[in-house]
Structure 1
Amino acid sequence: MQCYYVVIHGRLEWSAAAPPNNDEGDTWQPLGFYCHRFVLASSISSAQDTAFRRVRDNLERQTGWLNSNQVKLELNAEQVTPAPFFRLLKPDNRGHIFYDND
């Protein structure tokens, strides 16, 4: 088992149904996001799968977009590199850096 650092790009494709609202009640539909995860895995492909699952679960918990079928999510691993094991001891950074333009 190895610790891996996975940088993830998430692409969001919105349905024509009800868009999400921000705090001011305005429509907000980001095109995508970037985030990273440190995961324990036996291979690079397993690290990607684990990181993707954790990102999907966290995004759904924070926004509710996926289960309500408001958006289709496509995840790509931009970078997967071995990392020191001590990175697994720190709490996950569960944030996402959203962007509106390509």
Structure 2
Amino acid sequence: MPAAPCVIAISEVLRVLVSRAETWDPGASLSPEQDRIAQVILDEISRAPHESLHFPMLRDVRLLRVARALLEEPGSARTLEARPGGLAATGAHGPGCLCLVHCK
């Protein structure tokens, strides 16, 4: 597995295997077949080429702050809430409202 969050290219094999894994009961133990498929998924993720992360840059300063923070630290646990420590100081309506207006 990659050591840090990253964007990877998805092969056709990985796409098909993940589609199959989505149908599995999340509360059940893996069958031997499912375990083999899960191992192949991990192998495919490990060997997948890394892709560059591309965000179209925004014009709104508040949304641009969020996009830059995501680019700098994609694994961050910070939230988008409009409060101290949140990524978007956007006022009462929050960043979702800004996206409806600016991310069309």
Higher strand share: 1
TM-score using structure 2 length: 0.24
TM-score using structure 1 length: 0.24
Higher-Rg structure is 2
